[in-house]
A and B are shown apart, each in its own frame.
Chain A
């Protein structure tokens, strides 16, 4: 039954299949007919709510609830899904699943044990298990000692570890549910190469779901487009489906290669529709941005925060220096109406820098100064501000919206900040934001019950509700489909157009481009700023104040390319 020793690719067949989750009225998916022959590699795409994940989970036999035809609130199933002619639950171990969140699916605390976990469960003899473990780790290119702890792995390493765990089980099917959604570009490349090697070694059938489908196009030979309630709408080679259904795919939230957003496309200066008027109205709150036009005034390029020789450390407890030093020698200027993207590989301290700039972590060296324009009557060190002083000046949007929700309804969530600050127009502000952020129909819903994209919008809305002149965001676009991405990025562009200074910690190149952001690239040995002229605080004082920020930048995207056009490179090392 467990089919441990069977090898070779498996055949998947859905016949008029449908699934309804427990407690839901609507079917996640209905009437699906899809056959995947052994060894085929299929990418499944479609808008949110089309049931892509449900399809993958059915194949992997991890749909949580047991269908019960006698109970209306229980899960329900129709038709059949077969893996090699059998119920997927009977051939568990033949199907290997890798999911989105790298953190949440490492099972064991040592690398070797984690890879061996699946073999143990399916009764593989001990000696053979370790043979498979070594082989699998070699295939995915994870060349680390077997007893190394899994807790310090990067996202890309974790996903490769999960792939090795799947490979060690000799799967007939590899099922990938957005495996690259939370990875930096390097991690994406690593996982892509590991999957290619895995497929080469095992010859397994593959099913993959990913918003940024371009990652997998060279490995798949079929593209299947699902529609909510409509089943399979298009099915064919990637080239033909992309050619015939390109606009439909983009509308469905798929990142179609070649349709990336243009530079500055989400900024007013870049020809985009301007900010919602509510976002530009700000001005009554203390220290609120005063810029009101649809374009950025050239002479209002006011510095709000300045970092000089800043060093950051994570793990230190508030009020006590210490922890692990992760960044140093960072010189930055945060300016009104500008977007600063903090980029660089995983693990160099991007998030830590974000928290430090946001006044939430104590700098472990150097200085972070708030200029009088920002500080007002408060002191010049954000870490020493009271919570309310901070909230009126610097807002923080966390990577996981779940960390920052404090209220029981969307309406209360939006009002929590303004009320804490005693803003007199708190209620009016909430009403504005419900519309501006497309949350009105959810006003009474619990924030934790919203979808991923809705949670993200709410998280941003709840922070800008207090009209802080500076907003720091950590990975605001990770793991989003194209439509959600566009909504979030347009909101950010509108905020910047209205004069808010944005700091965005990100590995999303499209975001950097669409917001026409200045860029600070963190590296293990220091920080390198790639700002337009005049915004940096160069240690050698060679900033060129003449080039205004309003001019559409022709600067190159890649941070490593040196001074191009009006962008001098400032390199800062320890």
Chain B
């Protein structure tokens, strides 16, 4: 999550620690969020193969810029890669039939039309899913929270509360393992998996509530929710890199529409 760059702490000057990540990882996540949203809007205006293929091709060309190792990339994109064939298959089988018929089983029609639609949809899911996954997995929640609160002006109480909650979920994982060990130690783990799961879930809830209460007190004691303006120690910037990110993603969407219109395949 955090990079080992230790820019901060160098020198005693009263200067906030700057961006600790370089390159694309250092771009404010809100920019990626807005950009991917815009790209998605561009791509849902049409249902043709060409626009989706162009967008995907441009993305694949740009992918090396992110310098993500292929293994990591595959791992991050795996949910999308699983979803795509499933989506395509269901559309190929159940999509609106048109053109030559390849296969008919009453409720299942595989036709030229449904196959084309399946391909177009598969490419479209990839074209939106790939940048979303690649740009968002590994985002530091703190950066995202800063962006949401300072740039998009979401309420600080809500954003910081959610941020604290995200941080606490990591503790819940260890809680769950301890709960499982405790049940094994008591002789209760040989069977009755369902009932045991329910009792563990209840205990986890109690532990989580207890933690949340303490955390709320800790936050309150440090003036959280105090009346008066709140300042932000880290400035969420929306400058060159952020605009570039949005421009590239919107550019991909616009280019795909342009090519499709020129090729005459664009249909709203």
Q: Which of A101-133 contact B (CB under 8 A)?
A: 101, 103-105, 107-110, 112-113, 116-131, 133
> Does residue A9 face the partner (Cβ distance < 8 Å to B)?
no
B178 within 8 A of partner (CB)? yes
Provide the residues of chain A in CB contact with B182, threshold 8 Å: 396, 398, 403-404, 406
B17 partner, pick from A108, A147, A149, A416, beta carbons under 8 A: A147
What residue in chain B is nearest A351 (Cβ atoms)?
B178
**Stretch in B90-98, B213-221, B247-255 touching the partner:** B213-221
Tell yes or no: A12 within 8 A of B by CB.
no
For the complex, what is the distance from the CA of A145 to the CA of B20, rounded to whole Å?
11
Contact B217 A99 (CB under 8 A): yes
The reply to whether A148 and B218 form a contact with Cβ atoms under 8 Å apart is no
In the assembled complex, the CB of A552 is this many whole angstroms from the nearest CB of chain B, namely: 33
User: Nearest Cβ distance between residue B78 and chain A, in whole angstroms?
Assistant: 20
Which chain A residue has the least Cβ–Cβ distance from B164?
A107
Distance A137 CA – B7 CA, assembled complex (angstroms): 16
B199 within 8 A of A: yes
Number of A-B residue pairs with CB-CB distance less than 8 Å in the complex they form = 210
Q: What residues of A have a CB within 8 angstroms of the CB of B207 in the complex?
A: 400, 402-403
List the B residue with the shortest CB-CB distance to A422. Answer: B187
A113 / chain B contacts, CB cutoff of 8 Å: 142, 233-234
A131 and B17 CA atoms in complex are apart in Å by 11
| Binary flags per residue of A82-112, CB closer than 8 Å to B gives 1, else 0 | 0000000000110111010101110111101
Considering only residues 1-43 of chain B, those with a C-beta below 8 Å from chain A are 1-3, 5-9, 12, 14-17, 20
What is the chain B residue whose CB lies nearest that of A361? Answer: B181
**Are A126 and B231 within 8 A (Cβ)?**
yes
Number of A interface residues in the complex (CB < 8 A): 82
B66 CB–A CB distance under 8 Å: no
B106 within 8 A of A: no
Q: With A and B bound together, what is the CA distance between A359 and B182 in angstroms?
A: 11
Interface set, chain A 162-200, CB cutoff 8 A to B: 162, 165-166, 169
**Inter-subunit contact A169/B222 (CB<8 Å):** yes
Which chain B residue lies CB-closest to A392? Answer: B187
Partner of A107, one of B141, B222, B228: B222
Find B188's partner among A109, A123, A130, A387 (CB 8 Å cutoff). A387
A60–B216 alpha-carbon span in the complex (Å): 13
Report the minimum CB–CB distance from A405 to chain B (whole Å).
6
Q: Does A391 lie within 8 Å of B186, measured CB to CB?
A: yes
Decide if A1 is an interface residue (CB 8 Å cutoff).
Answer: yes
Residue of A nearest to B168 (CB): A104
Looking at the assembled complex, report how far the CB atom of B166 sits from the nearest CB atom of chain A, in whole angstroms. Answer: 9
Shortest CB distance A81–B (Å): 15
Residues of chain B lying within 8 A (CB to CB) of residue A95: 221
Interface residues of A in 331-366 (CB under 8 A from B): 355, 358-361
Given the complex of chains A and B, what is the CA–CA distance between A107 and B190 in angstroms?
A: 39
Decide if A109 touches B142 in the complex (CB within 8 Å): yes
Q: Residue on A with the closest CB to B234?
A: A113
Could you tell me if B226 and A120 are in contact, using CB atoms closer than 8 angstroms? Answer: no
Contacts of B226 in A (CB 8 A): 2, 92-93, 121-122
Nearest chain A CB to B200 CB, angstrom units: 9
Contact between B6 and A396, CB atoms less than 8 A apart: no
In the complex formed, the residue of A with least CB distance to B8 is A146
* CB pair B215 A104 closer than 8 Å: yes
Report B-chain residues with C-beta under 8 Å of the C-beta of A162.
218
Instruction: Please tell me if A417 contacts chain B, counting CB pairs below 8 Å.
Output: yes
Name the A residues within 8 Å of B213 (CB-CB). 64
CB distance from A270 to the nearest CB of B (A): 29
In the complex the two chains form, what is the Cα distance from A404 to B177 in whole Å?
11
Contact A127 B222 (CB under 8 A): no
On whether the beta carbons of B2 and A134 are closer than 8 Å, the reply is no
Within 8 A of B (CB), among A227-269: none
Asked whether, in the complex, the Cβ of A126 is within 8 Å of the Cβ of B235, the reply is yes
Q: Kindly list chain B residues whose C-beta atoms are within 8 Å of the C-beta of A530.
A: none
**Across-interface contacts of B222 in A (CB, < 8 A):** 93, 96, 107, 117-118, 121, 165-166, 169
Name the residue of chain A whose CB is nearest to the CB of B18.
A147
| Docked CA distance A391–B235 (Å) | 55
Question: Which chain B residue has the least Cβ–Cβ distance from A474?
Answer: B178
A220 to B229, CA, bound (A): 36
Residue interface bits A373-411, CB-to-B below 8 A is 1, else 0: 000000000000011101110111010101111100000
B228 contacts A123, CB within 8 Å?
Answer: yes
CB of A462 closer than 8 Å to a CB of B: yes
B15, closest chain A residue (CB): A130
Are B188 and A406 closer than 8 Å at their CB atoms?
Answer: yes
| A50 is an interface residue with CB less than 8 A from chain B | no
Closest A residue to B6 by beta carbon equals A145
Is B268 on the interface with A (CB-CB < 8 A)?
no
Known contacts A358-B185, A396-B185, A406-B186; A121/B2 CB under 8 A: no
* Distance between Cα atoms of A95 and B219 in the complex (Å): 13
| B62 within 8 A of partner (CB) | no
Please name all residues of chain A whose beta carbon is closer than 8 Å to the beta carbon of B203 when the two chains form the complex: 402-403, 405-406
Is the CB–CB distance between B233 and A147 below 8 Å?
A: no
Contact status A105-B215, CB under 8 Å = yes
- Nearest CB of chain B from residue A392's CB, rounded to whole Å: 7
Whether B185 pairs with A394 at a CB distance below 8 angstroms is yes
Distance of A558 Cα from B184 Cα, bound (Å): 35
Report Cα–Cα, A127/B223, bound state, in Å: 19
Residue in chain B with minimal CB distance to A128: B14
Partner of B224, one of A121, A318, A417, A420: A121
Q: Whole-angstrom distance between the alpha carbons of A136 and B207 in the complex?
A: 32
Show 19 A/B contacts (Cβ-Cβ < 8 Å), sorted by A: A60-B221, A107-B218, A107-B222, A113-B234, A131-B14, A134-B14, A145-B6, A147-B7, A149-B1, A169-B223, A360-B185, A386-B190, A387-B188, A387-B190, A391-B187, A394-B185, A403-B203, A420-B188, A448-B206
Name 7 extra pairs, CB < 8 A, besides A107-B215, A359-B185, A387-B185: A97-B221, A109-B141, A112-B17, A118-B223, A125-B231, A360-B184, A417-B188
**Which residues of B line the A interface, CB within 8 A?**
1-3, 5-9, 12, 14-17, 20, 140-142, 163-164, 167, 170-171, 175, 178-190, 199, 203, 206-207, 210-211, 213-215, 217-235
Question: Which 3 pairs between the two chains have the least Cβ-Cβ distance?
Answer: A391-B187, A105-B218, A131-B14
